[in-house]
Amino acid sequence: MKSLIYERTVDVDSERVGVKLYRTDRGFIAERILVQRDNITLVQVLPVASRDNFDEFARADPHHLAMVTIYLEIRNIIWKSCRGEMA
C-alpha cells in the first residue's frame, strides 16, 4: 500500500511538470509527471533506494532548473523521515 505525502507541479513553457511522493511499507516512491501541451501524460517511477540515486534522478531531469525547489523539498522530507537510515 502507498500513501501520497507530497505533490507539486510547475508550468514550464507549455508543459506542466511535477512530482508526487508516496510512502510505502518499504520506503518511498517518487513519480515524476510531465503533461505535454497535447495532454499526453508521461510518468517516471523511482523507488527511492538511496540519496545518490534520488539525486541522480533529479539531476537527469531536463526541467531540473524549474524543479530544483521541488526536488529539495522532497529530499528534505525523505531524509528527515529516515534520520540517516538511507546512505
Closest-CA residue to 67 (of 84, 85, 39, 44): 44
Phi, psi at residue 79, to the nearest 5°?
A: -80, -20
When pLDDT is cut at 50, 70 and 90, the band that residue 83 belongs to is low
Number of H helices, E strands in the chain: 2, 4
pLDDT(33) > 90: yes
The domain locations on the chain are 2-82
**Is CATH 3.30.2450.30 correct for 2-82?**
yes
Residues linked to residue 10 through DSSP beta bridges, in sequence order: 17
Give 37's pLDDT tier (boundaries 50, 70, 90): very high
What's the pTM?
0.85
Reported residue count of the chain is: 87
* Model confidence pLDDT, tens digit, residues 1-25: 899 999 999 999 999 999 999 999 9
